[in-house]
Structure 1
Amino acid sequence: MEILTALFASMLYLAAILQIIPGLSSNNQISAKPVFFTAVAALTLHAYLLKDLILSGSGQNLSMLNVASLVSFIIAMMTTGLIFRLRLWFLLPVVYAFAGLNLASATLLPGAFITHLESHPEVLLHISLALFAYSTLMIATLYALQLAWLDYQLKHKKRQVINHNVPPLMMVERQLFNIILVGQVLLTFTLMTGFIFVDDMFAQGKAHKAFLSMAAWVVYGVLLWGHYQSGWRGRRVVWFSIVGAFLLTLAYFGSRFVREILIAG
């Protein structure tokens, strides 16, 4: 039953993607309502499956694939909620594709990493902040890639016909830094709660998470300072965003990937 539900949710994500793609290659207006309701249906099934995958049995199963599926769910939920306010059509196919693939992987390739967060609410707060910080900064990375694509299109004069489904370059840049700022605040609180509540934050096998997260915090901090103080934009912004995202991904999933995929495999 779980496999069928995951398959149906993935098909709904695919249906949302197929409603978006034609409008990106032409100037036909993308209708937001059908995309929104299709995505909401997919997200509802995704949330139902995550409940079973993570909360099944005693404790919480925070395996790497379950966490990856949870992160993709948060990203998809946040971007779907902004459909009527922002032109996110360039980002949504990537977001929904990852959500569907991660959900299918978590369902078909079950893993186990059991913890008991109900007895440690402060750790639950830390993990929740970390998930939302990572999700927000991954959205910023997608924005940075969209910014690079739009910049390339303009410089090579490939956008000869204005596509109303694609946002203007300056709007994307402004939204990018707003999202990075929110993500940086969340990452700051994540590190603060880690220092306060996680006793073995610098223990062997865990210290790399703290150091990589702090390195990412520095990268995003330098990027924000460079933009607001020195007017940084363009390729430098894109590369800083990618480096920050890479460091956070290593911090959050690096050791998990080695233990749960490479060694277990």
Structure 2
Amino acid sequence: MVVLVTGASGQLGQSLQFIAPKYPEIQFVFASSSDLDITNPERVTSFFETNTIDFCINAAAYTAVDKAETEVEKAHLVNVVGPKNLAIACQKSGSTLVHISTDFVFDGEGNLPYSENHTTNPIGVYGQTKLEGEIEVAQNCDKHFIIRTSWVYSQFANNFMKTMLRLGSERDELNVVADQIGTPTNAVDLAEAIVTIIKSKNNEFGVYNFSNEGVCSWYDFAKEIFRINAINIQLNPIPTEAYPTPAKRPKYSVLDKSKIKNTFKIEIKSWQESLLQTKI
């Protein structure tokens, strides 16, 4: 089985490389943006015509939420045009596309975990482009899995956990937003879930949610990061209004994982347990 992974240098791409040796039955082909520019339809078509691809995991994304507010065209290229190109190529070659999306497709105004069929309503450019990317995937490729995830971190690339560890080594005091609620997702756990879906040979295509289990704020997340790494710092909870950003964030983005757990028999760790195992 040949599995192409786009966005190989990102968090999920590196996490898939990390777990790949556990699955010798899968031939992974890891492609960074320099290896395969998914925004170039000719390059994508040529790549699929010269390689036999059974599954394509699209881990490539424009994820700079604040920059997206001004870099609209760039975000659209990577998050909408790229997935469309991959979807068309997968449809033509008979490959299955696993596309990674985000909790930012929701507005965060709810107070119950979002299911896959909840009405989408993104509140920023990043979320809007990710939703448009989902639509392109669904319209252009019959065999697709769209996986929405949230608050992704890992020992790889740049993320909230690594930022907190860096700031914890530089400062004595830190303010962290305490009124945005969601669930951290360990990228390695997400990678394992994707491989489980691929190996299942289950053809129940569609949209699925995945994050770790549990609920917390960014403040709670930071507090636990510092606790398990034995970092002594004065941590202050603040409201969103006290930390203005160019892009609005969903205030509540907890995802209901019932569908992915029931369909693929996936057991999901709590965010605290997974964070503990990611201590670096």
On whether the aligned pair clears a TM of 0.5, the verdict is no
Greater strand share, structure number = 2
Look at both structures and tell me which one has the larger radius of gyration over its CA atoms.
1
Greater helix share, structure number = 1
Question: Normalising to structure 1: TM-score of the pair?
Answer: 0.28
